[in-house]
Structure 1
Amino acid sequence: MIRLLYVALALTLSACVGTQRDRAPDPQDTITVTSSNFSDERPVAWPDRSPDRYPVHGIDISRYQTSIDWPTARANGVNFAFIKATEGGDMLDPMFHAHWQGAGAAGVKRGAYHFFYHCRPAEEQARWFIRHVPRTPGALPPVLDMEWTPFSPTCTIRRDGATIREEARIFLDLVERHYGQRPLIYTTVDFFNDSQLWRMEGEEFWLRSVADHPHGVYDGRAWRFWQYTSTGVVPGIAGQVDINVFGGTKQAWADWLRARRL
């Protein structure tokens, strides 16, 4: 009987040790936030709720940022980067793969975005994005960039809000099924209002507002990321760049990233 008790105790201790080992912290779970050391070519006297109150800053980039020293940018506050991948159904940003690899190597959280082209079916555009953007564990969610294109040489149509919202859902659903993450929606104030994107309940938004806090500009709409300037200056990046903040604390950032992990 005593021997059986010893065996049972040994098995229990072994199970506990195994459980503790299984729950050992993953080194990738350590999320370091670096403080921003940015400036702006066109600084704004923010009337309320300055972006400086948010601790997690990052950038969005495309072919126009041709020279990035990623380790320097990371050390100076680039905690995340949204990188343009595709546009419409036949355009791949020529800098996408270089930016994707550089950001990843420097430990910058990265996500890819697609610029929506209103003259092509949403399904075709989703397939084009999927064709070119790798399914990378730990990546930020994909982004659907929707805005008007009045200066496009080939497509300036303005479809009604119901059609736009349905096309957005088609894209979001297809991309979510492939990557296992619901994409974010990036948009501007005029497009948000004209297309009534506020009707798309349950979606996460990345909102542009370069003169005031999104809370006032978007009538209190919840947001996950805020693009607050297009004339930012970041050490390690040649020329001006878009700068964004995550809408929460450092802990909220860590929690959101873990919840989004593939």
Structure 2
Amino acid sequence: MRFSGVSAIVFGCMVLVGCTSTGAGVDEILAKPSLETTSSIVKPGNVVPPGEIGTAASSEAQPEEMTALAPSAPIPDAMVPMARMPETRTPAAEPVALVVPSKPPARTFERGQVYRHRFRDAKPINFGRVSPRSLAVHGVDVSRWQGEIDWAKLRSQGANFVYIKATDGGDHLDPMFRKNWRQAGEAGLRRGAYHFFYWCRVASEQADWFIRNVPKVPGALPPVIDVEWNGESRCKQRLPRKKVLEKMQVFMDRLERHYGQRPIIYTAPDFYRDNLKGEFRDYPFWLRSVAAHPSKVYPGREWVFWQYSGSGLSHGVDGRIDLNAFHGTEDQWHRWVAANAR
């Protein structure tokens, strides 16, 4: 049978479609919730359906991605080549009258009201004289597991800032991120986004995924890389310390170049002990320590935020919520925001 030119093109397209099809059903192609959680959050029995966001496939590594962690892997993350811009020649400048540019106006931030925290705790801890209650500025961190949030009410209860889960790995977006991001901003909270790091995914891919989904907006807090061992992950591999540090550095460098802010490192005691003790002295830390003051759990480590509870209770949110405090006075908080927010 002879084909006309048009018929040949149509036939070629059909062949390509057939070759690329995986045979997966629609339900398998649509976004699936990530199985990852931070160490402080227990998944509730009745999960609120995803909000207005749909994503690509699950961010768990596929078999071919897992092999990239094998000893025979040819190129580590730190050696991923960066795209080079083509060379251009600058034309000769025309002589112009010398004009002294006016000094740009300094960036200013509204200090905003700091609300005294009124949170309760389902599992209260007696921290003694170093109680987080002695700190002036408290906040929360949230993800899809908190469901629908009354942000104005949550703020009035003492949530002066919030870190919102944005991404996992290289292809999962928290289905509540955009809604939480928008509504938290409308309610006047200082907001930032965090990324749950996967050890079975290339670091540069994870950074690009976070950048793709988290907007650059005035006043946003520095981005956070959440690094911890997670027993619920299907990625069970624990990398050597050297490899962990390399992957973190690749991710953080990309975010710092894009957002112009040095990322904050969130971690838990076991991961810190295995990988981070004595490392990244020039990075701010957000430390999980729900049974004792950070000075006892992370001796010698300076910190900006302390996650002191994973069982907080507050008006404005159903169920439990992570509670955090800023390391400083109210005035130090305003000065830190002015220096570090975009």
- TM-score w.r.t. length of structure 1: 0.88
Match of residue 114 from structure 1: 195
Q: Provide the C-alpha distance between the structure 2 equivalents of 1:159 and 1:33, rounded to a whole number of angstroms.
A: 41
Q: Provide the C-alpha distance between the structure 1 equivalents of 2:276 and 2:267, rounded to a whole number of angstroms.
A: 11
Contact 1:204/1:223 (<8 A) preserved: yes
Q: Provide the C-alpha distance between the structure 2 equivalents of 1:98 and 1:261, rounded to a whole number of angstroms.
A: 21
Match of residue 221 from structure 1: 301
Match of residue 178 from structure 1: 258
Contact 2:137/2:330 (<8 A) preserved: yes
Give the deviation of 1:90 after TM superposition: 0.9
- Please tell me the residue identity of whatever aligns with 1:127: D
1:33 aligns with 2:140: no
Q: Provide the C-alpha distance between the structure 1 equivalents of 2:111 and 2:302, rounded to a whole number of angstroms.
A: 27
Aligned length: 240
Q: Provide the C-alpha distance between the structure 2 equivalents of 1:164 and 1:149, rounded to a whole number of angstroms.
A: 14
Contact 2:142/2:164 (<8 A) preserved: yes
Match of residue 165 from structure 1: 245
Q: Provide the C-alpha distance between the structure 2 equivalents of 1:156 and 1:138, rounded to a whole number of angstroms.
A: 37
- Please tell me the residue identity of whatever aligns with 1:78: A
Q: Provide the C-alpha distance between the structure 1 equivalents of 2:312 and 2:278, rounded to a whole number of angstroms.
A: 28
Match of residue 86 from structure 2: none
- Please tell me the residue identity of whatever aligns with 1:46: F
Q: Provide the C-alpha distance between the structure 2 equivalents of 1:40 and 1:123, rounded to a whole number of angstroms.
A: 38
Give the deviation of 1:235 after TM superposition: 1.3
Contact 1:144/1:184 (<8 A) preserved: yes
Rg bigger for which structure? 2
Q: Which runs of 5+ in 2 are unaligned?
A: 1-101
Q: Match of 2:310, SS?
A: strand
Q: Match of 1:42, SS?
A: coil
Give the deviation of 1:232 after TM superposition: 0.1
Q: Give the % identical residues.
A: 48
Residues 5-64 of structure 1: CA deviation (Å, up to 9, x unaligned): xxxxxxxxxxxxx99xx68x95x4223211001100000111440000101000000010
Greater Cα shift, 196-205 or 222-231: 196-205
Question: What is the RMSD computed on CA atoms of the aligned residues?
Answer: 1.6
Match of residue 189 from structure 1: 269
Q: What are the residue-to-residue correspondences of 1:1-262 with 2, within 5 Å?
A: 28-152=109-233, 154-262=234-342
Q: Provide the C-alpha distance between the structure 2 equivalents of 1:47 and 1:74, rounded to a whole number of angstroms.
A: 26
- Please tell me the residue identity of whatever aligns with 2:251: F
Contact 1:232/1:240 (<8 A) preserved: yes
Contact 1:165/1:197 (<8 A) preserved: no
Contact 2:194/2:226 (<8 A) preserved: yes
Q: Match of 1:112, SS?
A: strand
Q: Match of 1:72, SS?
A: helix
Q: Provide the C-alpha distance between the structure 2 equivalents of 1:214 and 1:233, rounded to a whole number of angstroms.
A: 22
- Please tell me the residue identity of whatever aligns with 1:82: Y
Give the deviation of 1:220 after TM superposition: 2.6
Q: Provide the C-alpha distance between the structure 1 equivalents of 2:139 and 2:247, rounded to a whole number of angstroms.
A: 28
Residues 80-115 of structure 1: CA deviation (Å, up to 9, x unaligned): 000000000011000000100110000000000000
Contact 2:228/2:271 (<8 A) preserved: yes
Q: Match of 2:217, SS?
A: coil
Higher helix share: 1
Residues 197-230 of structure 1: CA deviation (Å, up to 9, x unaligned): 4321201000000000001110131000000000
Q: Which runs of 5+ in 1 are unaligned?
A: 1-17
- TM-score w.r.t. length of structure 2: 0.68
Q: Match of 2:146, SS?
A: coil
Q: Provide the C-alpha distance between the structure 1 equivalents of 2:208 and 2:277, rounded to a whole number of angstroms.
A: 23
Higher strand share: 1
Give the deviation of 1:67 after TM superposition: 1.6
Q: Provide the C-alpha distance between the structure 1 equivalents of 2:277 and 2:263, rounded to a whole number of angstroms.
A: 15
- Please tell me the residue identity of whatever aligns with 2:188: G
Contact 1:61/1:81 (<8 A) preserved: yes
- Please tell me the residue identity of whatever aligns with 1:56: V
Residues 146-185 of structure 1: CA deviation (Å, up to 9, x unaligned): 0002221x20111111111111111110001111101100
Q: Match of 1:64, SS?
A: helix
